[in-house]
Amino acid sequence: MRLFGCVCGQFHTSAEGFGMSGAGRVAVPVPFYVIEHPQGVTLFDCGLHAQVGDADNAYRKALQSQDMDITFSAEETVTRHLERLDIDPGRVRYVVLSHLHFDHAGGLHQIPNATLVVQQTEWAAGFDDEIAARYFLPRPYFDLGHPVRLVDGEHDLFGDGAVTCIPSSGHTPGHQSLRVRSVQGDHILVSDACYHGEAAETRRFPAFSDPVAMNRSLDGLLARREPDTVMIFGHDPTQWGETAILPSLRG
C-alpha cells in the first residue's frame, strides 16, 4: 500500500488571519491524499472544484472580499494529479471526506464512481440549513448523487487496520481525520482538526469552530502518536516546503 500527498491549489492570506505568528501574507496549501490499497484506490478529501480558480467564481470572489485569494491551475486538479499517478478517476473506490468544506469536497465532480465515506453527524449537518450556514457547508459541492457510506465513530475502512477514520469534531460538527499505515510509515492526516503545527501549540482555531470540541479532538489525535508517527496538519505551509517532510509522499 502506498500513500501520496498532492497540492490542489493554494490560499493566499494574512499570517495573522490564518492563526500564524508574524506579519505579511502566507501561501497556504490545499492538500488531498491518494491511498493505493489492494482493495481499491481511496482519496482522503479531493481539493477544490475545477472552476474555483476562475476569476468570476462565486467562492473565489467571496474569499477576496475577506482578504483571501486562490491560485489554482489546471495542472493542480484532482484529475491531473491522478493521471500523473496512472490512476483513472473513474476507478477510485472511496473518497473519505474529512468534512464538507468546499476546499475538501470540491473535487467530487471529477470522481464520478466513488463511494463517499462521511461521518453521519457531518452529513446530517450538510443538509440542515441552519447548521450548514453556520459552518459554511456548501451542498452543491458535495450532494452530487454519489453512493454514501455513513459511519458513526472510528471506522476501519478495509478491515485490516491500514486506513482508519478517526472522529475529530469541532472544526465542523462531524469532522474526521485519517490514520494511514503504509510502506512509508504511520501517518495521521489531521486535516482541519488543526490547520498547522503552530496552532497545535497555541490552540488558535477559526472563529466559527467549536473550540472546546477542537481542543478535545486535537488532544485525542496527539495522544495517538507513536515515536515514528508523522502528523500532517490541514493546511501547513511548512510541511510542504523545500525541506519539508512531505515530498516523499508526493505523486
Cα Dmax for the chain: 47
Determine, yes or no, domain membership for 244: no
Task: Locate 133 and state its grid cell.
Answer: 450556514
Determine, yes or no, domain membership for 246: no
Q: Does 242 have pLDDT greater than 60?
A: no
CATH number of the domain enclosing 104: 3.60.15.10
Which helix or strand (DSSP H or E) is residue 11 part of? strand 2-14
Determine, yes or no, domain membership for 251: no
Which helix or strand (DSSP H or E) is residue 82 part of? helix 78-84
Task: State which residues form the domain around 119.
Answer: 2-239
Tens-place pLDDT, residues 128-140: 999 999 999 999 9
Helices (H) and strands (E) counted in the chain, each on its own, are 8, 12
Domains held by the chain: number: 1
Tens-place pLDDT, residues 148-190: 999 999 999 999 999 999 999 999 999 999 999 988 899 999 9
User: Residue 89 and residue 167: Cα distance in Å, rounded?
Assistant: 27
Strand 155-156: give its sheet, edge to edge. Answer: 155-156, 163-167, 176-182, 185-191, 230-233
Asked whether the beta carbons of 105 and 45 are under 8 A apart, the reply is yes
Tens-place pLDDT, residues 102-113: 999 999 999 999
The structure's pTM equals 0.94
